[in-house]
Chains A and B, each alone.
Chain A
């Protein structure tokens, strides 16, 4: 599959200003953070932070600035800071996003930027929620390859087309942005939610897996795929660009047709 690449030129004429750059503009923002700490009070409230930020800064940088320079008790999870670990899903101006992937300059900085915890999971402190119910649903769909045949000595073969069939849903980072954007999940915490279905999809449509029927049976449950009302919030919320609603529809069709 590897395309033979043409040997590139040893020297090229670079266009002027290539690579961009110049002064990085700075601007002032108001960051409104939803605060909650049951050690102090059962009531949640908003705190405003007035911050000077730069053109390449993300919401995560603003949160860090608030924490590091103003109030050390502002609490949120984060790790990789470039959108692959899934720690910092939060509601930013009412939409589920990763704080490390949301550039401030792409938001309307003339108004306060609202940052709240994702919805539908119990808030522990500030922007930190209890992720356990989310991972519980994930575990229930048996998120691992099940293969009944003899193990080959080498790798199992899989055509590039069969591999492509489930590529989209392998991108999931379990950040919960989709599940916690789903209005059905907000009102019914028992619903498996989009992320669990996405991860079921990843195995149901993997030609190497033999347990598709079992997973479809699980998702045919009253808290399964049929709770999905095709609102598309999940697809909009996914920071990895997974076509979540499409994946759920494919699982629905597979349940109906039992053909995978």
Chain B
């Protein structure tokens, strides 16, 4: 067993992981493990901006930003976390500028800001310019800047080390009220070196999960092929709950049929949506802020237009993003990449023609539960000492049931930084938890089982069937019937997964094996998402139930917590236990959510 010893082990090298590494690396011996190269991480695909109430171009303050975040999340946001994020947003942006990030500038040379969906002045009065940006490649600039600063600080990366297990030991412990429980402690992680096929154990006093999302459970998605929910899946298999997994964001403007993201910044800069009648239909759905309503509302409105027969194209299955009233020079300066995507992939010239768009699976609001210190929770209030999570893999919860645009780039910077500092500080005083003797056995078994798999089912076929059913049934509109149907499909796919065969038996860069392992996580996560969605008999934020179209605060103003539990059954699915966790309120009472 090859064991590497570090104070802090970070899993994932996107925005959250590298932001954590910059802090942790300066305080403690830190290793960053990624299944890619750091600069390939999907933070780089984020486009539009990162909100902070800098008030560089108009009046703004962090309290308005907090309110917008809470209302945007349909009041399921933990308000203490939203306050932290909106307050620390300002320093997060200034930190990045000092690290060298090339933001667009105002005529006075300050960081420029623009409008984004759901971000308003004075509690919803009108859109506000809050998003700091670098053209429509803000995520690219953040990823590059953070990587550059990791190079500056000599952060140790283990590239193409795929983490497959979290080492947790359990100790008998007693709560204040005298009740007994099992206290989890983290000892490290187990990784699979893609280049050599070797297994490496990383022992750490602290472990930070920052491994990103799970968009590949859907067919139409803005997410990278590599976003297969590994981090969430690993934690779940080791008894860590997953919070609010029923809430998944569908970004309104994916290129029709392809899912490639066209930033909300397009609408921030003045683009609008039209249906087949040429009508600006968002005027009907959100009279005050129209096309700049939050994403869940816009995505649902688009899907509704298509459903009611006002879709465009030969199959009437998309709507149009119209930029033709904007100056080409303005488009080139502010939206160069997304207009190139429209040209390259659809052959549409956005100067003169509207661009076909439809919602695309974009972001998991749920994930590994943490508190505002980025500490992972093993239940509603017990922290796992030394275990941290930040970014899309985590659920703080600052996004509640619907994330506002730009708040993910903010989330990774604010909570990535917090996780990095906390992990390093913890490691300074903590002792190592002993790595169990057979720590790598689970991973070896998993890998060898897949490597020798010689059944008749193809991984790509099972994945396609999963993605097709998730797109058809668990997308913008959901119902008891579509969700039950999905659970049946997933159950049969899980059976068939036991009979997969792969063709590559080698050790070197065995990506055939990698995809098979990833599918295992996708199946697990799709099941958790669907069970949680079936249980939540209300509509809130990104989760819309046709059979329960209203928000039901009395029954469901609470987070869901899904546990892996062999003894439990939830919504007729064996092995999952669903519990709830209270939402934290500080200053805002739930109100009807209108824009």
User: CB within 8 Å of B: which residues of A?
Assistant: 1-3, 5-6, 8-14, 18-23, 37-40, 56, 64, 67-69, 71-73, 75-87, 101, 103, 124-126, 128, 131, 135, 138-139, 142-145, 147, 151, 154-160, 163, 166-167, 170-174, 203, 206, 208-209
Interchain residue pairs with CB less than 8 A apart (11): A3-B330, A14-B276, A18-B354, A19-B313, A75-B511, A82-B45, A82-B260, A85-B40, A85-B224, A86-B40, A203-B100
With a CB–CB cut-off of 8 A, which chain B residues contact A18? 312, 320, 353-354
Query: A14-B274, A143-B151, A145-B99 are contacts. A1–B508 as well, Cβ < 8 Å?
Result: no
Which residue of chain A lies nearest to B140 when distances are taken between CB atoms in the complex?
Answer: A84
In the assembled complex, the CB of A64 is this many whole angstroms from the nearest CB of chain B, namely: 8
Which residue of chain A lies nearest to B132 when distances are taken between CB atoms in the complex?
Answer: A155
- Count the B residues whose beta carbon is within 8 Å of the partner chain — how many? 92
Residues in B140-183 with C-beta less than 8 Å from chain A: 140-141, 144, 148-149, 151-152
In the assembled complex, the CB of A51 is this many whole angstroms from the nearest CB of chain B, namely: 14
B269 touches A19 (CB 8 A): no
A20 touches B151 (CB 8 A): no
Query: How many residue pairs bridge A and B at CB < 8 Å?
Result: 220
B278 touches A79 (CB 8 A): no
From A1, A126, A138, contact of B112 by CB (8 A): A1
From B149, B327, B347, contact of A20 by CB (8 A): B347
With a CB–CB cut-off of 8 A, which chain A residues contact B152? 142, 144
A154 to B458, CA, bound (A): 55
With a CB–CB cut-off of 8 A, which chain A residues contact B100? 144-145, 203, 206, 208-209
Q: Known contacts A85-B40, A139-B151, A154-B94; can you find 5 more A-B pairs with CB under 8 A? A: A14-B278, A18-B312, A20-B313, A68-B461, A84-B45
A21 to B315, CA, bound (A): 9
With a CB–CB cut-off of 8 A, which chain A residues contact B195? 124
In the assembled complex, the CB of B24 is this many whole angstroms from the nearest CB of chain A, namely: 18
A166 to B382, CA, bound (A): 49
From B39, B94, B348, B508, contact of A19 by CB (8 A): B348
Which residue of chain B lies nearest to A105 when distances are taken between CB atoms in the complex?
Answer: B347
A154 to B112, CA, bound (A): 13
With a CB–CB cut-off of 8 A, which chain A residues contact B436? none
Query: A21-B313, A82-B45, A158-B109 are contacts. A5–B277 as well, Cβ < 8 Å?
Result: no
User: CB within 8 Å of A: which residues of B?
Assistant: 36-37, 39-42, 44-45, 57, 93-94, 97-100, 102-112, 114, 129, 134, 137, 140-141, 144, 148-149, 151-152, 195, 224-226, 256-258, 260-261, 269-270, 272, 274, 276-280, 283, 312-315, 318, 320, 322, 325-327, 330, 337, 341, 344-348, 353-356, 458-461, 502-504, 506-512
A14 to B141, CA, bound (A): 37
B278 touches A72 (CB 8 A): no
A125 touches B509 (CB 8 A): yes
